[in-house]
Amino acid sequence: MTFFLQSEDGDIIDCIDIYKQPAFDHPALKNHTIKMMPNFLLESENSSTKDGSESESTIFQTWQKSGSCPKGTVPIRRILKEDLLRAASLHRFGQKPPAAFNNSTKGFNLNFSDSFADSLNPEHRSSSYLVTMGYNYIGAQADINVWNPKVDLPDDFTTAQIWLKNNNNPNFESVESGWMVNPKLYGDKVTRFFVYWTRDSYKSIGCFDLTCPGFIQTGQVVLGGTIGPLSSKQGQQYEFNVGIFLDPNSGNWYLKVKNNIPVGYWPAEILGSLRHSAILVEWGGQVSSTNIKNKRPHTGTAMGSGELANGGFQKACFMRNIRIQDYSLQLKYPYPTRAMANERNCYSSVIDVKKGMEPVFYFGGPGRRPPYCP
């Protein structure tokens, strides 16, 4: 009999034997031995809590109020029949829409132009993000400000996240994590913690959370679990740290939150060249909708807090304590970087640099706002 917890947010959390979790249904993981996060990946600098932001200890998942899972098990959000019925097809349950890139998409390129920005973002996605490119990134992190943006259309979703990719061609691999509002996947409009991976630029391989075999959970953080408390405009700000780091010895990409709480990992067996390093890191937000870019009316799904980036602290969504790691194993602010936005009048981005302080990245917007974003 599986032990489970009923969360006050409506979720049912099953406590699953760590060796019987969904990942092991993946053909490449039949004989996989679970590898806990190496100690050297848990030694991370602490997040800043300047500007009246609450320390991360206040951020928690709602289900944790109901108890905890026994030793040797991991907490997994139960997928219900209603969740499956909302999917466009069972085959694509838990997947982002396929990436249809525009014809101008070129390969790897370092000039950070607007066409480069579009090349990173397929149709039906609008993103505002900070990007850096190199050749051997083996980690990235940031403190992500937590909000609950509006979602307008039933198939839309909105994220605040980190991406690590192996290239920006139309066929890329990516590992991703952050928070998201996704009514189609989760059946509500609350802010939830998520992970994602793809091996073929969202065509068919990869998914959110544990909706397909792949990601191996090792910690007591629920993928797809509600997070809170939420930030408010002109009020208290909340943030939590997300870090994704490669163990070069195994080729596994490990995910941790709040600086040193292990979540799990993407095993090398499900990845291609990304198991060696990433060459592109992005921090920011993304709205997925069929009503973006040249479609009218534009979706009213918001990104971040729903305020444009120039709103600044306590209004716009931010990321700070932004770091990359390369084979020097030092955590450092990335250079060069550029703030990008696909639809600047709908969702914007800005790097705020104040003397004596490290840069803070602001991003987001309301979506439709005639006449600027009709």
Question: What is each CA distance from 294 to 123, 157, 214, 290, in whole angstroms?
Answer: 10, 18, 35, 10
DSSP 3-state of 171: coil
Mean pLDDT of the chain: 92
The verdict on residue 39 lying in a domain is yes
| pLDDT at residue 108 in the model | 45
69 pLDDT higher than 90? yes
pLDDT at 102 (0 to 100): 58
Of the pLDDT bands very low, low, confident and very high (cuts 50, 70, 90), residue 44 is low
Task: Give the whole-angstrom CA distance, residue 120 versus residue 165.
Answer: 10
Does residue 295 belong to any structural domain of this protein?
A: yes
Which is it for strands 157-165 and 278-288: parallel, antiparallel or unpaired? antiparallel
Written as one letter, the residue type at 114 is: D
> Could you report the per-residue pLDDT of 315-358, keeping only the tens digit for each?
999 999 999 999 999 999 999 999 999 999 999 999 999 999 99
Instruction: Give residue 192's pLDDT.
Output: 99
Q: What is the pLDDT of residue 104?
A: 44
3-state helix, strand, coil in the chain (%, to 5): 15, 35, 50
Q: Look at residue 73 and give its three-state secondary structure.
A: strand
In the prediction, which pLDDT does 105 show?
Answer: 42
Instruction: Quote the tokens at residue 147.
Output: 């909000």
**Residues of the domain holding 108:** 3-364
Q: Is the dihedral of CA 295, 300, 305, 310 positive or negative?
A: positive
Give the pTM. Answer: 0.94
Does any domain span residue 269? Answer: yes
Closest CA to 190 of 158, 220, 222, 163: 158
For the segment 94-108, the average pLDDT, to the nearest whole number, is: 67
The pLDDT-based confidence of 156 (bands split at 50, 70, 90) is: very high
Torsion of CA 272, 274, 279, 280, to 10 degrees: 100
Selected residue with higher pLDDT from 69 and 56 = 69
For 20, 37, 241, the CA distances from 244, given in Å and listed in that order, are 24, 11, 10
The answer as to whether 148 is a domain residue is: yes
pLDDT at 8: 95
Residue with tokens 């390129």: 109
Give pLDDT, residue 49. 46
- Structural domain contains residue 250: yes
- Please give the pLDDT value at position 55: 54
Within-domain flag for 372: no
Do 206 and 198 meet the contact criterion of CB atoms below 8 Å apart? yes
Rounded Cα distance, 346 and 302, in Å = 9
- Is pLDDT at 110 greater than 60 in this prediction? no
Q: What is the pLDDT of residue 113?
A: 61
Amino acid at 30: K
Residue 19 has pLDDT above 70, yes or no: yes
Task: Give the pLDDT mean for 31-38.
Answer: 96
More confident position, 139 or 294: 139
Buried/exposed code over 295-331 (b: 16+ C-beta within 10 A; e: otherwise): eeebbbbbbbbbbbbebebbbbbbbbbbbbbbeeeeb
Look at residue 88 in the predicted model and tell me its pLDDT.
85
DSSP letter string, 113-145:
-HHHHHHHS-TTEEEEEEEEEEEEE-EEEEEEE
Residue 197 pLDDT greater than 70, yes or no? yes
The number of distinct structural domains making up the chain is 1
Number of residues that this document lists for the chain: 374
